[in-house]
Structures are given as C-alpha cells and as structure tokens.
C-alpha cells in the first residue's frame, strides 16, 4: 500500500514573469486573461501577485507566490500553506509538517503544472516532499472547473514550476541553507541551483533550463502515549472480559459508567469495577532523510503561433530511521499501595504496581523512492480564434521499504504511575529496591536486566506507472454572450503493483544465548533528557539498536532462524491493478455587460469513463492461495457553473456549483484478509480486508464569495460554502471466529474491519481573509502590513452502524480532521533591503479518528495546535541575499485524548524547533 509520497519533479522559481499558460498548466477556461507582468519582489510583492491571481481566476482560488527566485518562505510547501485561508495542517513529525486539509477535508488532489502526479501505488504526492526552495507558486483551488483533472473532494493544489521562456535571457541562481533542528541538535544542508538560458536563432527561439536540489534532514521526535482502558474487578484487580461471562462487549467501554461504585453483571453477579489503563509507552524516534531532485526543461518556439516543450523530472527519497520504544504494563494485580482515583469517579489516576513487566523495541526502517516523469507537448494558434495544445506524459515510480524490530523484555521491582500528573502529561517512576544495594532497579540502562524477545522482519516493494495523453482546445466565439468554448480529451493508462513480505520469530537458542550481553552491537541507550525533561518520565532506556539491525539484517535473521534476505512476498498483500481512464470535457465562458458593470462566468461538464482490472490472491478452504480477477466499470458526470458579478471595479461576488469525486485507494480494493493476534493479552485479534466493489465518494459543492480589492496590495474577502458528500469509505467492524492454525481444532476471535461506501457527510463554513498594507502613513509605518485569515467549519458524518457486518442504522458524528475554528495572523515588513514576517497559526481541537482495537472511548481527539514562525531576508547586494528562518518558536507540545481530556488523556508529542541561515546568489 502507499507508504511514502515523493513529487516526481524538481522545480525552479521566479517572481518577475509574464504569465503565459502553456501545455498542461491551465487548459480551457482556466486560461484566464493573462496576468499583467508585475516586476516586484519581497513579501509585499508576493502577496500582491497572489491577490492578482485570485482576482483574475474564474474559480475561487488562493495562491502563494515565491518572494524571489529560490526563495519560498518556508521549509516545505505544507508549512507555507497553513497561512492560506481555509487550509489546516496536521501530522507533524520527522522534522516537518506532512498533511494538508482544505476546509477540513484531507482528500486533496495534487498536480504539477496541471499534470496529475503520483508516487508508486498512491493516487497523489505528499506536498512535504516538494523542495520548497524551487517553487514558483502554489495555487489552491477551492472550486473546480471541468477542464481540471478530476479527483479530490477537498480541492486541488497545483504547483507551478519555472521554464526558460519565463526569463528574458540567461539566469543563474544558487542557494544554500543550513537548518538547525533543536531536538536532533544537527545542522542540515539544503542546496539548490538553477541555470537557464534562451537563444534567438533562424529556426526560432530556444530555451533550456536545468535545476537541481538536495535536502537532508536529521530529525528527532519524542512521544508519550497512554494505553487502553478496561474494567477491572475492585476485589482482585483482574480484568473483566468475555471469559468472565460479563454482560458488556469486550473491546469497548462505550456506555460503561465511570461513577464510583458502578457494577457489571459478571456471571450473574453485580460486580464493582475500576476503569484502569493497561499500558503506557514512550518513543524516541530519530532518522536521516535525503531528497535529491533534478529537472530539465526545453522550449522551442519556431514562430509566434507555435511552441513545443520537453520536460524530464526526477525526484528521489531516501530515509533510514530508528524508533526506540518503551512499553510498560500498568495493570498488574499486585500492589504495594492502593490505587488512587480521579475525584468522583471509578477511574484510576495513580497506580502502584509490584513486579511491573515491560518491554522495549528497537525498530529500524528504511525507505527508498525513485520517481521519473517525462513530458512532450506542443501548443498551436491555428487562427486568431482557435488554439490547440496536446501533451503526452509517461511516469514511473517505485518505492521499496524494510522494517526490522527486536523486543527486549524485563520485569521491574516497583512502578509508580500517574496517568495525568500535569495537564495531560504523566508521571512514571521505577523505584529502587533497598534490599539489593548492588542493583539500581530504577535504571532502565543495564543490559543484564534485559532478554532478547521477538524479532519482526518485513518490507515491500510498490510500483506505479502511467501513460497520459491530453488534447485541449480553445475557441474564441462571437456568439452573443458566449465568449469562449474550451474542450478536451484525456486518456490515461495507470498501473499499480504492490508486494509485501513478513516474518517473525523467537531467538534461536542453538545459535546464541539470546542475551544482550552476548550481542553488544545490539545495545542502544537512548539520549538522556527524554521529552526535554518536561514530563516526569524515564530520562532514557535501553533498546535494541535499529540502525545496527538494518546494517546486519542477515546476522539478526540467523540468530532467530529466519529466512536470509527476507521472506517471500505474501500472497494476501499482493495486488496488480490496471485502470483505463477516458475523459472528455466541454466548457463555456460567458459574459455580458449590465450597465457599466460585468456579469460573467463559466459553465462546463466533465465525463469520465473508468475501467478497472484487478488481480489479487485468495485462499481456499485447504489453505492454498489462488489468483482471482475482478473487473469494474463506471461512468461519472461532473457538471460545474460559476457566476461572477462585479458591483464595482473593486468589488465582486462569485457563486459556484460543482461536483467532485474521491476514488478509493488501491489497497482498499484488495479482498484478501489478513489476521493479527493480540500482543497485549486481549482475547481477540484484529483482521482486515479490502473491498473490490468500492465506488468513488461523490460531493456536491456550493460556494458564495464576496471580494473587495480596496487598495493596491490590499483585499478583504469572505466565502460561504457547503459540501454534501455521499459514499464516504469507512470501515465496518464485525466479530468473527476462524480456525486457529497454531492450535489443532482450535479457533480464535477477531474483529474484522472492511471498507464500504456506507457513510455520508455534510460540511459547511465561512472563510474570511484580509491582506492590508497601509498607504499614506508616517514614515515609521511605511512597509508594515498584515495578512490574516479565519475559518469556521461545521461538519458532521452520518456513520453506519453494523451488526455482524450488516448495516442496521446510521448515527451522526463529527467529521474527522475538522477544527471548528482556525486562524492565522502574519505581521509583515517590507522596505528597501529588508523583508520580515512573523506569523502565528492556530486551530481548535479536532477529531483525529476512531479507536477500533482497544477498550477505550472510541473517539480520538487532538488538542488545539499552534505554531509561531519567523522569516527575515536582507539584500546585501543586488546579487546576494542573506536569509534567516525559524519555525515552532514557542516549542509547542501537541497532545491528544479519548473523548475526555482529563480522564482519558491519550499522549503528547514534542517536535523540533528549526533555525535556518541561508545565502542566495543570482545573476
């Protein structure tokens, strides 16, 4: 399945350019009137250009424009996008922000110059993988035209790159930054170079551009998590489960009272219970990531009416990480002191456990991606009214990954644990035994106290490939109020293949004593001062060295009697899918003058025929795997309409109606079932399978905006919007019992999750935005400006209720990932040689998902998130610029909880602050 996303291109940037839509950048009516050349620089210039793009586009669009060549104002695209109205970011980790939502929805399609780009078996790319220093601009489409590639209910993010004809003559830019990560205490390089030139010859104008980039990140994330909650008898502290004939559903505590003295019917007897967490853990996650990229762009204009383009992109990703994990069982039945409860509840807040068992796990992983995109196309003005363009694109992307982990086990003397000692952060302390003066039981660093446990060895290889042909045309009409017709076809052949291997085992006693003291290369002690000493938890602990295991994988496999080189690929996780996508669209731009003002807009329809051929593996009753084939065919019609009216030259309103779709991921289509027994002592395991009958989710979208461009570089705007979605893909959970291959004639219970188009949803909200640079102000205020945005969202999901896999009802729940409110404020200063920006971004708490594996309140939430960033640049000369950037200045702690942030706190994460010093030379 899709593990990483890497943009298959490397891109360059320019701030002073004449906007000339070429090839696949914008087709049909998206070829709005050419934006006038604006020769500006700095923060104010970039915001002015972004407002000009917003004003000219027919669709509701927000943009970010680079302040200068090689200078995008953030470490990656996602960090920059969080300042766009209606955009929220989440999934911080590994030294960066990873996930973008538009108006609360994560299903965002991503394109580069209008081309759909993907990684391996994914349907999109991760924006965090795009080299930010090489970007020209980013357009965020809140609404869609028929001429744009379908997919993505939330919207579309299009990355615009540079080409040689964007420059009047030659151009050279070299930029280097050193980025300090506070958690890893490393300085990482980020280097980019652009070289472009153009020539006038007897055969026409030629242009060539090459740009390369390399970014390296050494990251460290520190996380605390708190485990599931179960009912335990108050008399002997044993867990109440299905073996006790309890009258409640094991695996969930929904509806269980937390009042003092609450009882459960256990075997016909009302039995008092406590609610107690079963575990707690810590992860110290470190790694090294590299992203090389290269791009070649060649343009040829033999005359004024034709132009040809060839582009070749490469983007790579290399990552090796080590996750040092400590897992502590907190539910022992023996206590050296009675547990303490939260006031007025039966929920245990502080526990005192004798002989507390725990394990650590050293997890080593690698990931490697190589993606290539080749594009060849042309554009021809056949007459003054008719222009055509066509392009063929071939892309391929492979992702290979591996994971090797070893558990080490230990039993400690005494444990004191407070699940919420300080505003969501726990207290964890192992006490020293006074009767053993030669041993310090409070320390987790002695190899003699740890034994080698289970090893897990898995990995996979995914591959995606596509050939795409497009043909588009524009015809300038003189048909009354119809001003332009746009039309086009797109034919796309897409293939995706995935393979996965997995093996595990216990240490081979015939080969080794299975003691860490006999294998010193495996011993790793985490860095001291875990969580920056902001929580009363162990400062460091011992775990198997994940990096050592990756470097010596076959030696570890030999110790554990596993197959050398890794196991064979598992048939249950293998699939091969081919899609044929044939699309046509027709679009009309219209306009009419009403008095001195203008009413115009766009109406269009996109028709998609998608045929899918799927090959999987299926197990028969005798345990043999056999190939199976499944086919699907669907036709989708997506209409859209835009009405735009200008009340004055500076005040306009837009109304849009459109329909969009979200296709299921390839892995969700695989019908093979995989099983995983519980590793924490639960009486049931988890199982999962896909569903080849899945259909795209569909959304009907309404938007109404009012925009006032009241001064140069200034605007105030607001948008009302609504999304009605049908066919959301959600998992149905069914309790199943299957034969247990490890026990003759035995069975094992599982909770099977399978996706289905069984949920609907509604999302509505308001966006407000302001960009303001005061004019005619005192000299000390000249150059100051503000950019601010506010978003209010109200979303709800109509989720299915299943009984034994049968839909019996639907219940209303909040939408996942949606914060009720979010805002950003940017204070900017742009004058002469200085540019400065201080930004603050905030989003309310939000639902992150549902817990289906453990006995917890099912809803998982994230507490409010915030970030403060700073950017500064100084023009030393006309050719040399020095920059300084800082992110996460306030060192925020990100926290989560289950339904009640006091009783059921979930965990906390501490991510790096970054400080970057850069130098850019251009000529």
Q: How confident is the model at residue 75 (pLDDT cuts 50, 70, 90)?
A: low
Residues 188 and 263 in one domain: no
Give exposure, 810-823, as e/b (b: 16+ Cβ within 10 Å). Answer: eeebbbbbbbbebb
Q: Are the C-beta atoms of 838 and 790 separated by less than 8 Å?
A: no
Last residue of a domain, one of 277, 312, 343: 277
Residues 100 and 155 grouped into a single domain? yes
Q: Is a pLDDT exceeding 60 seen at residue 33?
A: no
Q: Is the pLDDT of residue 122 over 80?
A: yes
Confidence grade of residue 38 (pLDDT, cut at 50, 70, 90): very low
> How does DSSP assign 245-262, residue by residue?
TBSS-TT--TT---STT-
User: How does the average pLDDT of the chain come out, rounded?
Assistant: 87
Instruction: Kindly state whether residue 241 falls inside one of the protein's structural domains.
Output: yes
Tokens 């615009």: give the residue.
160
Task: Write phi, then psi, for 762 (nearest 5 degrees).
Answer: -140, 135
In a domain, 66, yes or no: yes
Residue 542 lies in a domain: no
pLDDT for 679 beyond 80 = no
Cα–Cα distance measured from residue 44 to residue 785, given in angstroms and rounded to the nearest whole number: 8
Per-residue pLDDT averaged across 25-32, rounded? 40
- 888 forms beta bridges with none
> What pLDDT is recorded for position 529?
92
In this prediction, what percent of the chain has a pLDDT beyond 70?
A: 90
Same domain, 198 and 245: no
Alpha carbon separation from 328 to 40, 340, 399, 663 (Å, rounded): 58, 19, 34, 40
Residues 42 and 178 both lie in one domain:
yes
| pLDDT for res 345 | 95
Tens-place pLDDT, residues 157-181: 998 888 999 999 999 999 999 999 9
Secondary structure (3-state) at 506: coil
| Structure confidence at residue 5 (pLDDT) | 33
Please give the model's pTM, rounded to 2 decimal places.
Answer: 0.87
CATH of the domain at 731: 2.40.170.20
For residue 797, what pLDDT band results from cuts at 50, 70 and 90? confident
pLDDT band of residue 243 (cuts 50, 70, 90) is: low
Closest C-alpha to 217, from 178, 160, 159:
178
CA distances from 569 to 207, 460, 498, 674 (A): 47, 8, 10, 14
Q: What is the pLDDT of residues 317-359, one digit of tens each?
A: 999 999 999 999 999 899 999 999 999 999 999 999 999 999 9
Q: If you average pLDDT over residues 771-783, what whole number do you get?
A: 89
The predicted model gives 135-139 an average pLDDT of: 85
Separation of alpha carbons 542 and 545, rounded Å: 9
Whether residue 4 is predicted with pLDDT greater than 60 in this model: the reply is no
Query: Residue 622: pLDDT above 60?
Result: yes
Q: Say whether pLDDT at 375 is over 90.
A: yes
Helix (H) / strand (E) element for 51: namely: helix 42-56
Q: What percentage of the chain reaches a pLDDT higher than 90?
A: 59
Q: Please state the φ and ψ torsions of residue 56, each to the nearest 5 degrees.
A: -80, -30
pLDDT, tens digit, 9 for 90 and up, residues 475-526? 999 888 999 999 999 999 999 999 999 999 998 766 667 888 888 999 999 9
The torsion angle over the Cα atoms of residues 776, 781, 783 and 785, rounded to 10 degrees, is: -90
- CA-to-CA distance for 63 and 870, rounded, in angstroms? 20
* Tens digit of each residue's pLDDT (9 = 90 or more) over 549-606: 999 999 999 989 899 999 989 888 889 999 999 999 999 999 999 988 999 999 999 9
Q: Give DSSP secondary structure letters for 389-457.
A: EEEEEEEEEEEEEEEEEEEEEEEEEEEEEEEEEETTEEEEEEEPPTT-TT--TT-S--GGG-EEEEEEE
Q: Which residues lie below 8 Å from residue 521, measured CB to CB, with a gap of 6+?
A: 545, 548, 552
**Distance in angstroms (rounded) separating the CA atoms of residues 38 and 17:** 7
Chain segment 215-224, per-residue pLDDT in tens: 999 999 999 9
Of residues 15 and 57, more confidently modeled: 57
3-state helix, strand, coil in the chain (%, to 5): 5, 60, 30
Q: Is the pLDDT of residue 869 over 80?
A: yes
Q: Is residue 286 part of a domain?
A: yes
User: Are 168 and 267 within one domain?
Assistant: no
- Are 178 and 234 found together in one domain? no
pLDDT tens digits, residue range 62-74? 998 876 655 665 6
With residue 303 as reference, give the H or E element that holds it: strand 279-303
**Sign of the CA dihedral with 828 first, then 829, 832, and 833 last:** negative
What per-residue confidence (pLDDT) applies to 801?
Answer: 72
| Residue 915 pLDDT greater than 90, yes or no | yes
883 with 777, same domain?
A: yes
Token output for 464: 């995606």
CB-based burial label for 529 (10 Å; 0-12, 13-18, 19+): exposed
Residues 891 and 851 in one domain: yes
pLDDT recorded at residue 10: 31
Residues 621 and 751 in one domain: yes
C-alpha closest to that of 640 among 598, 584, 585, 599: 585
In a domain, 351, yes or no: no
**Residue 843 contacts residue 99 (beta carbons within 8 Å):** no
Domain region containing 178:
28-224+282-327+359-404+459-501+569-922
100-114, 718-732, 846-860: least confidently modelled range: 846-860
Cα→Cα distances 744→622, 625, 736, Å:
15, 21, 18
pLDDT (0 to 100) of residue 19: 30
Confidence (pLDDT) at 255: 64
Looking up tokens 């034919």, which residue turns up? 491
Lowest mean pLDDT among 126-135, 203-212, 253-262, 770-779: 126-135
Which residue did the predictor score with more confidence, 820 or 104?
Answer: 820
The CA distances from residue 137 to 71, 133, 134, 771, 835, in Å, are 11, 11, 9, 18, 18
Query: Does residue 529 fall inside a structural domain?
Result: no
Report if residue 517 sits inside a domain.
no
Q: How confident is the model at residue 39 (pLDDT cuts 50, 70, 90)?
A: very low
Same domain, residue pair 115 and 236: no
Residue corresponding to tokens 């995706």: 496
Domain C-terminal end among 216, 243, 277: 277
- Rounded CA gap, 350 and 700, in Å? 50
Q: Are residues 188 and 290 in the same domain?
A: yes
State the pLDDT confidence band at 254, using cuts at 50, 70 and 90: low
Residue 197 has pLDDT above 90, yes or no: yes
pLDDT band at 130 (very low <50, low <70, confident <90, very high): confident
- Residues 282 and 325: beta-carbon distance below 8 Å: yes
Q: How many domains, the chain? A: 2
Q: Are residues 261 and 144 in the same domain?
A: no
- Classify residue 518: in a domain, yes or no: no
- Residue 749 has what pLDDT? 82
Q: How confident is the model at residue 74, as a pLDDT?
A: 66
Interatomic CA distance for residues 379 and 869, integer angstroms: 42
* Alpha-carbon span 85 to 769, nearest angstrom: 6
């Amino acid at each position: 399945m899709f593990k990483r996303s890497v943009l298959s291109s490397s891109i360059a940037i320019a701030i002073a350019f004449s906007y000339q839509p070429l090839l696949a950048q914008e087709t049909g009516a998206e070829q709005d009137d050419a934006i006038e050349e604006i020769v500006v620089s700095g923060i104010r210039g970039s915001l002015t250009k972004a407002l000009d793009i917003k004003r000219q586009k027919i669709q509701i669009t927000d943009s970010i424009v680079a302040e200068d060549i090689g200078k995008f104002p953030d470490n990656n695209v996602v960090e920059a996008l969080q300042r766009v109205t209606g955009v929220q970011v989440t999934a911080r980790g590994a030294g960066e922000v990873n996930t973008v939502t538009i108006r609360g929805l994560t299903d965002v399609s991503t394109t580069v110059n209008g081309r759909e780009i993907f990684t391996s078996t994914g349907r999109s790319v991760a924006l965090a993988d795009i080299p930010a220093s090489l970007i020209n601009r980013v357009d965020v489409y809140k609404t869609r035209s028929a001429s744009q590639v379908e997919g993505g209910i939330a919207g579309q993010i299009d990355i615009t790159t540079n080409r040689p004809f964007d420059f009047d003559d030659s151009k050279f830019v070299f930029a280097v930054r050193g980025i300090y990560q506070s958690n890893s205490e490393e300085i990482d390089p980020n280097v980019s170079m652009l070289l472009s030139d153009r020539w006038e010859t007897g055969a026409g104008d030629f242009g060539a551009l090459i740009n390369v980039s390399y970014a390296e990140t050494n990251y460290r994330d520190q996380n605390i998590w708190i485990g599931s909650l179960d009912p335990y008898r108050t008399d002997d502290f044993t867990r109440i489960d299905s073996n006790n004939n309890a009258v409640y559903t094991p695996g969930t505590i929904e509806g269980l009272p937390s009042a003092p003295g609450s009882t459960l019917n256990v075997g016909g007897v009302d039995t008092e219970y406590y609610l107690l967490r079963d575990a707690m853990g810590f992860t110290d996650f470190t790694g090294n990531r590299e992203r090389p990229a290269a791009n070649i762009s060649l343009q040829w204009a033999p005359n004024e009416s034709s132009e040809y383009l060839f582009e070749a992109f490469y983007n790579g990703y290399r990552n090796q990480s080590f996750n040092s994990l400590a897992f502590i069982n907190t539910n022992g039945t023996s206590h050296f002191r009675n547990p303490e409860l939260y006031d007025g509840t039966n929920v245990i807040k502080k526990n005192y456990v004798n002989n507390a068992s725990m394990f650590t796990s050293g997890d080593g992983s690698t990931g490697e991606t190589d993606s290539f995109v080749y594009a060849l196309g042309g554009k021809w003005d056949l007459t003054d009214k008719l222009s055509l363009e066509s392009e063929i694109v071939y892309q391929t992307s492979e992702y290979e990954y591996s994971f090797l982990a070893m558990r080490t086990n230990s039993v400690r003397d005494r444990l004191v644990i407070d699940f919420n000692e300080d505003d969501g952060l726990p207290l964890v302390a192992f006490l020293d035994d006074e009767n053993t003066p030669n041993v310090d039981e409070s320390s987790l660093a002695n190899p003699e106290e740890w034994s080698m446990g289970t090893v897990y060895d898995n990995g996979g290889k995914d591959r995606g490939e596509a050939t795409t042909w497009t043909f588009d045309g524009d015809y300038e009409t003189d048909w009354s109020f119809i001003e332009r017709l746009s039309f086009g076809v797109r034919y796309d052949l897409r293939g995706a293949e995935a393979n996965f291997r997995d093996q595990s085992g216990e240490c081979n006693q015939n080969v080794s004593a299975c003691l860490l003291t006999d294998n010193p290369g495996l011993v790793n002690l985490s860095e001291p001062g875990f969580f920056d000493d902001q929580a009363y938890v162990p400062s460091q602990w011992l775990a198997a060295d994940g990096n050592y295991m990756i470097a010596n994988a076959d030696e570890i496999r030999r110790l554990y009697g596993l197959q050398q080189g890794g196991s064979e690929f598992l048939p249950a996780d293998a699939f091969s899918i081919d899609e044929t996508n044939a699309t046509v669209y027709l679009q009309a731009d219209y306009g009419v003058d009403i008095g001195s003002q203008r009413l115009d807009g766009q109406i269009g329809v996109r028709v998609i025929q998608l045929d899918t051929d799927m090959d999987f593996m299926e197990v028969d009753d005798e345990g043999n795997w056999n190939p199976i084939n499944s086919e699907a065919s669907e036709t989708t019609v997506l209409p859209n309409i835009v009405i735009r009216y200008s009340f004055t030259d500076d005040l306009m309103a837009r109304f849009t109606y459109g329909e969009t779709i979200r296709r299921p991921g390839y892995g969700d289509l695989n019908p093979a079932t995989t099983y995983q027994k519980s590793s924490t002592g639960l009486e049931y395991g988890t199982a999962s399978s896909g569903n080849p009958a899945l259909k795209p989710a569909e959304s009907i979208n309404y938007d109404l905006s009012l925009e006032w461009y009241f001064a140069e570089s200034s605007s105030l705007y607001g948008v009302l919007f609504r999304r009605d979605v049908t066919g959301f893909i959600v998992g149905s959970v069914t309790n199943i019992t299957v034969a247990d291959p490890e026990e003759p004639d035995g069975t094992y219970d599982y909770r099977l999750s399978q996706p289905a188009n069984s949920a609907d949803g509604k999302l509505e909200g308001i966006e407000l935005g302001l960009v303001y640079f005061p004019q005619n102000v005192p000299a000390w205020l000249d150059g100051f400006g503000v950019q601010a945005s506010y978003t209010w969202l109200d979303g709800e999901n109509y989720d299915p209720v299943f009984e034994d896999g049968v839909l019996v009802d639907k219940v209303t729940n909040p939408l996942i990932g949606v914060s009720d409110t979010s805002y950003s404020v940017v204070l900017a200063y742009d004058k002469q040689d200085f540019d400065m920006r201080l930004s603050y971004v905030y989003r309310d708490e939000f639902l992150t998902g549902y817990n289906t594996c453990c006995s917890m309140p099912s809803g998982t939430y994230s507490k409010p998130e915030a970030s403060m960033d700073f950017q500064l640049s100084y023009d030393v000369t006309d050719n040399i610029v020095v920059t300084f950037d800082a992110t996460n200045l306030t060192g925020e702690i990100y926290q989560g909880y289950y339904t009640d942030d006091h009783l059921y706190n979930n965990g906390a994460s501490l991510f790096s602050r970054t400080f970057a010093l850069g130098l850019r030379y251009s000529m």
